[in-house]
Structure 1
C-alpha cells in the first residue's frame, strides 16, 4: 500500500470515529434534555481548537479525532467547578459525574494535571514514550478513571483504565465506541456493565 493510500485510509478512519462520537453524544444530549434537565442545563460550553492545540503541545501528544470532536462540542460533562473541590457549601451539587460508574469527562483544564499526576504515577517507568491522556474520573483528584492511548502505534485511540500506583490497563474500544454504548444503554433504559438501569433523581441522571 502506498504512503498516500495509507494517509487517506487514516484520514477516513479519523472522520468516521469523529462522526460516531458526535452522533452518540447528540443522542445522549437529547435524552438528557428530555429526561434529566438539571444535568443537561449544566453541560459546559465547547472547548476551542486553540485550547486543544495548547494541551497537545504541552503534553507532547495528539488528541484522537473522536475525543477532539467531543471537546469541540462540550468541554467535559459538567462545569469546571464540578471537577474541583468545592470552596463553599453554597456551591451547586456536582452533576458532571453522570456517566456509568459515576464517572465524568473532565474539562481540558484538568487533563494536564491528571496526566502529570495520577496517570504519570501509574505509567511504567521503563516506557517513557507512553502518552496516556486521562479522560474520565470519579472525583476531582483524578486518581481513578479511564484514559485514551495517544501513543503512536497500534493502540492509538483506544481507551484503558488507570488507578493511582497501579499499572494501567489498556482496552480495546475507542472513545466513540464507548459513547455509542452509553447512548444505546441510556436510550434503551438498560444497565451498563455492572450498573443498574439509569435513573433520574431531582432532574439529574444517576447510574449508581
Structure 2
C-alpha cells in the first residue's frame, strides 16, 4: 500500500515533536533556532530552481521548520539544535546546492567504482553505505553544513542498494561519506531516539553535546573500526589504482 501525503505529513510532524521534546530535556536553549514553516510557494521554488523533485517527507519537514537560524553573530548566542551549524532554509538550499554543483568536474579516471574500492582498501576514502563519493554530484541537494566543512545532502542518485532521498553526511577534508538514514523521516526518528537516550544515559548515546555549541557534527559517522572496509555494494568490485 502506498503512503498518502497525509500519512507522510503525520509521521514527519510526530518525528519533529519527538526531536523537540528531546531538545527540551537536554538542550532547551537550542529550540529558539528552529524556524517557522516554509510556504508551498517557497518549497516549489526550490524544485523549480534545482530541477529536481524533493522527497515528499522533506517537503513535509520544511512545512514544520524551514531550517534553523543561528542568528547574525559568530559564534551564535544559542547552541544549535542539530549536529550542524545550520539546517538551510529554502533560499539557502538553492544557493548552496548550486555552489555544490559548480564544484562538479567529471574525472573518468577517478569517478569509478574500481577506483573507489582501491581507495577504501588503502584507507584513503571512507564509505559507509550505498553512496557514490562524487564531489558536486548533480543528483544531490545540499540541506545543511557545519562550518562549511561537513555537509548533509539528500542523495537523489544513490549507489546500488541505496534509497533515493537518503541522507548523506560528507566530510570532504576527511574523505568520508556516511549514509545517515534512508529517508529524512528516518533521520529525524534516529536523531530523536539518540536525544532520548542522551537524556536517560549520555554515555550510551551516540551524541556528544556541548552546552554552548550543541551536538557534535560527528553524529552518524561510521565507527573508526570500519576504516578500510568496503560497503556491500563495492564488496565484489575489482580494485584499480587511478595511477595505474
TM-score by length of 2: 0.60
Match of 1:132 in 2: 140
Match of 1:29 in 2: 20
**Aligned-residue RMSD, C-alpha:** 3.6
In the aligned structure 1, how far is the partner of 2:26 from the partner of 2:158?
Answer: 40
Stretches of structure 2 lacking an aligned partner (at least 5 in a row): 109-133, 217-244
Is residue 52 from structure 1 mapped to residue 36 from structure 2 by the alignment?
Answer: no
Change (3 A) 1:125 1:28: same
TM-fit CA distance, 1:65? 1.3
Larger radius of gyration: 2
The structure that is helix-richer by fraction is 1
Aligned residues: 183
TM-score by length of 1: 0.69
1:160 pairs, out of 157, 168, 174, with 168
Match of 1:184 in 2: 193
Stretches of structure 1 lacking an aligned partner (at least 5 in a row): 1-7
In the aligned structure 2, how far is the partner of 1:119 from the partner of 1:161?
Answer: 16
SS in structure 2 at match of 1:117: helix
TM-fit CA distance, 1:156? 1.4
TM-fit CA distance, 1:70? 0.9
Is residue 175 from structure 1 mapped to residue 157 from structure 2 by the alignment?
Answer: no
- Write out per-residue CA displacement over residues 83-127 of structure 1, whole angstroms, 9 at most, x where no aligned residue: xxx4xx7x85254x3323x45321112111211113542575679
Match of 2:121 in 1: none
In the aligned structure 2, how far is the partner of 1:174 from the partner of 1:158?
Answer: 5
SS in structure 1 at match of 2:103: helix
2:91 pairs, out of 76, 96, 109, with 109
Match of 1:63 in 2: 54
